[in-house]
Amino acid sequence: MNPQGVSLFVSDLHLSPDRPETLSLALSFLAGRAREADRLYLLGDIFDAWIGDDDDSSPNAEVKAALAAVTASGVRCHLMHGNRDFLIGRAFCRETGCRLLRDPTLARFGGESTLLMHGDLLCTDDVAYQRFRRRIRNPLVQRLFLWRSLAARRKVAADYRRKSGAATAEKAPQIMDVNQETVARYLRRYGAVRLIHGHTHRPGDHLIAIDGREAVRSVLAEWHPNQGEMLVHEPSGWHREPVLPSQSHNLQGRHREPSVTGSSPIPSATRSSTVTKL
Ligand code: LP5
Ligand code: MN
């Protein structure tokens, strides 16, 4: 994959009926700024929980319609599973025109080999989660789940969310971050000089010295009711742009006046500029 033009990367919107402000932020982003791009990368956890493509309850139907309109406008939409919406399937892709990306996926942006991931695979210190992940990614377990009624699936998802909330409250924060050796292993295996992922909700751009060369790990931000964020690749380079409710897409676009909350170039103005040697 060697995308040209403007690419936008977002993840961790966690859209749900309980977050109406984040939903309207996402819908205005999809109706505006997203349509100025050539490609849109949705790197997982766009939904807070996805229990099957047959669930058209709110906000699923609205988001699918908005994504279908984005692809109809000529933007290529790529979607990767997150740990909350890994059951997004073929019907969703057919309805929206999104293409499903494997985790990880290697692509080239501006000639750089870039690895795209959701991020949960990098959190290998979280042994309990990795065990849970292996179980629920088992195709047979998923098929059995999908055979159940929507009401029964909704209950199981709510139960998992509750258990997950209790489990994460007990875990040390560093366990839920990426493991640096795992990051290095993925970068080496794929020969990548850039890694883009979400999941950890610790946005930042980290320089990594790996085998004598430099790599960048860009972590996407979680969206909040009144603030989202995207990573942007243009022919001139990479930067971050906020997504704000009050802005029209033209104000949010490339011709926006610089401001405190404006775009931040990468990696020179990084939020986290620590160089990790591996
Ligand atoms: O999501 P978040 O941020 O709270 O925490 C994640 C990890 N938790 C999860 C679980 C999801 O939140 C649950 C979402 C369900 C939606 C879809 C339902 C479809 C079900 C399909 C079934 C086939 O991903 C959390 C990490 C954290 O990120 C940081 O990385 O720590 O991991 C956990 O909390 C896992 C626990 O440590 C262990 C699991 C407890 C649940 C026990 C149930 C066992 C049942 C086995 C099933 C076959
Ligand atoms: Mn996640």
Q: What is the pLDDT of residues 186-222, one digit of tens each?
A: 999 999 999 999 999 999 999 999 989 999 999 999 9
Task: Classify residue 223 by burial, with Cβ atoms within 10 Å: 0-12, 13-18, 19+.
Answer: buried
Q: Give the chain's mean pLDDT.
A: 91
pLDDT score of 251 more than 70: no
Question: Where do the domains of the chain lie?
Answer: 7-277
Residue (of 93, 84, 217, 105) closest to 160 by Cα position = 84
DSSP string, 129-150: HHHHHHHHT-HHHHHHHHHS-H
Split at pLDDT 50, 70, 90, the class of 247 is low
Could you tell me the distance, in angstroms and rounded to a whole number, from the CA of residue 222 to the centre of ligand 2?
A: 9
pLDDT score of 275 more than 80: no
What is the predicted pLDDT for the residue at 262?
58
Q: Under DSSP, is residue 105 helix (H, G, I), strand (E, B) or coil? A: strand
Task: Classify residue 3 by burial, with Cβ atoms within 10 Å: 0-12, 13-18, 19+.
Answer: middle
What is the predicted pLDDT for the residue at 25?
98
pLDDT score of 14 more than 70: yes
Q: Could you give the CA distance from residue 167 to residue 177 in angstroms, rounded to a whole number?
A: 15
**CATH level 3 topology of 7-277:** Purple Acid Phosphatase; chain A, domain 2 (3.60.21)
What is the predicted pLDDT for the residue at 269?
32
What is the predicted pLDDT for the residue at 271?
46
Tell which wins on pLDDT, 228 or 261. Answer: 228
Cis peptide before 3 (omega within 30 of 0): no
What is the predicted pLDDT for the residue at 274?
52
Q: Please state the pTM of the whole predicted model.
A: 0.92
Q: Could you give the CA distance from residue 245 to residue 27 in angstroms, rounded to a whole number?
A: 10
Judged by its nearest atom, the ligand closest to the C-alpha of residue 126 is 1
What is the predicted pLDDT for the residue at 272?
47
pLDDT score of 229 more than 80: yes
- Other C-beta atoms lying within 10 Å of the C-beta of residue 17: 11
- Pocket of ligand 1, beta carbon within 6 A: 49, 51, 83-84, 87, 120, 123, 126, 128-129, 132, 135-136, 141-142, 145, 156-157, 160-161, 163-165, 167-168, 171, 176
- Other C-beta atoms lying within 10 Å of the C-beta of residue 236: 9
Q: What is the pLDDT of residues 28-54, one digit of tens each?
A: 999 999 999 999 999 999 999 999 999
Residues of the chain with pLDDT > 70, as a percent, come to 87
Could you tell me the distance, in angstroms and rounded to a whole number, from the CA of residue 118 to the centre of ligand 2?
A: 7
Contact 64, 98 (CB under 8 A): no
Contact 11, 47 (CB under 8 A): no
pLDDT score of 260 more than 50: no
